[in-house]
Amino acid sequence: MLNSEIVKRLATSVGFDLCGITTPDIITGAADRFDRWLENGYHGDMAWLVRTRDKRLDPRRLLATTRSIIMLGLNYYQPDGGEIPAGCGRVSKYARGKDYHKVAGVKIKNLVYKLSEATSPSDRHDFYWYVDYGALLEREYAERAGLGYIGKNGMLINRRFGSWIFLAEILTSVELEPDDPAVVNHGECGTCRRCIEACPTGAIVADRQIDSRKCISYLTIERPADIPEGLARPMDSLVFGCDICQDVCPHNGRAQVTGHREFEYRKGVGEFLSCEEVLKIETREEFLKFTAGTALTRPGLENLQRNARIVLENQRGQGRS
């Protein structure tokens, strides 16, 4: 019979670093915060977050038979290599190696297979999984499953790995013993404001409230239009994503270098992108070849080149190129 102990052992066997279990009940506080976030327009142009609001608040709208949620985590941390070379832009840590959606997807498929095998032949159970893209408030459910706590910068912070964690989840009809976050989830931000003060665009407007319209990660990856000068200048040499609020977090002093070779920089685009190379790309086919197997396909060629032009302009203004 499948139980929580077996689930966690199997999750470890397929390569996940973290596994916690919770119930699919609506998290009232998280629902209220999400609604305020939407009402304030902090989602920017991500209209799908409005369209999927009801599903995000109630996991049973994703899978009606859900009785348990298995939350999973992968450590992806690798340190920065040094100063940014002139003419290059820095890529966020999460996107330097292979696309985590694919890496975690392989592991979670293996896990679902093993979970199915571990159930009684007479029982038929549902397993419905996502890697980040599901209509679920995954950080909130990860917090309740004991994987960590959500910091002021909105990131899930784990006591072993800091905030350098990819999340994935399995909704299942199997009833499992949930973890007690009061027991396994330790940590707090207290009076620390380092992430708030370090954000160059002032995107962290309140505890767990990020104005995406100012966030450099959103600007460089999700924003579909030109970036205003007042936000472009603070981007400095960040060509894809941003790690500033995580880099300054004291909890990330405990970060451990990932053991997952797929996330090594040599497996993807690496830490730095040559902006001139990006600007030389002429076709969609060339772009897809350049970004193959990585998360850098997300913004599309036009927006990645927009970012590259901003980085070069910022560096020229600093006399670096």
What would the pLDDT profile of 109-163 be if each residue is shown by its tens digit?
Answer: 999 999 999 887 777 899 999 998 889 999 999 999 999 999 999 999 999 999 9
Mean pLDDT of 271-295: 97
Predicted confidence at residue 186, as pLDDT, reads 62
Given the structure tokens 């981007």, which residue do they identify? 235
In order of start, what are the domains of the chain with their CATH numbers? Answer: 4-80+98-184 (3.40.109), 194-317 (no CATH)
Helix axes 4-13, 100-118, angle to 10 degrees: 140
How many angstroms separate the CA atoms of 124 and 312, rounded? Answer: 57
Q: Is the pLDDT of residue 51 over 70?
A: yes
Positions marked catalytic: 132
Predicted confidence at residue 79, as pLDDT, reads 93
Predicted confidence at residue 1, as pLDDT, reads 80
Q: Is the pLDDT of residue 184 over 70?
A: no
Where does the pLDDT of residue 317 fall: very low under 50, low under 70, confident under 90, or very high at 90 and above? Answer: confident
Q: What is the pTM of this model?
A: 0.94
Buried b (16+ CB within 10 A) or exposed e, 277-299: ebeebeeeeebeebbeebbbebb
Predicted confidence at residue 183, as pLDDT, reads 64
Where does the pLDDT of residue 57 fall: very low under 50, low under 70, confident under 90, or very high at 90 and above? Answer: very high
Q: Which tokens hold the place of 210?
A: 């990020």
Going by C-alpha positions, the residue among 106, 76, 103 that lies closest to residue 92 is 76
Q: What are the φ and ψ backbone dihedral angles of 250, each rounded to 5 degrees?
A: -55, -30
Predicted confidence at residue 321, as pLDDT, reads 60
Going by C-alpha positions, the residue among 149, 173, 184, 146 that lies closest to residue 163 is 149
Predicted confidence at residue 134, as pLDDT, reads 85
Helix (H, G, I), strand (E, B) or coil at 282: coil
Q: Which tokens hold the place of 22?
A: 């919770």
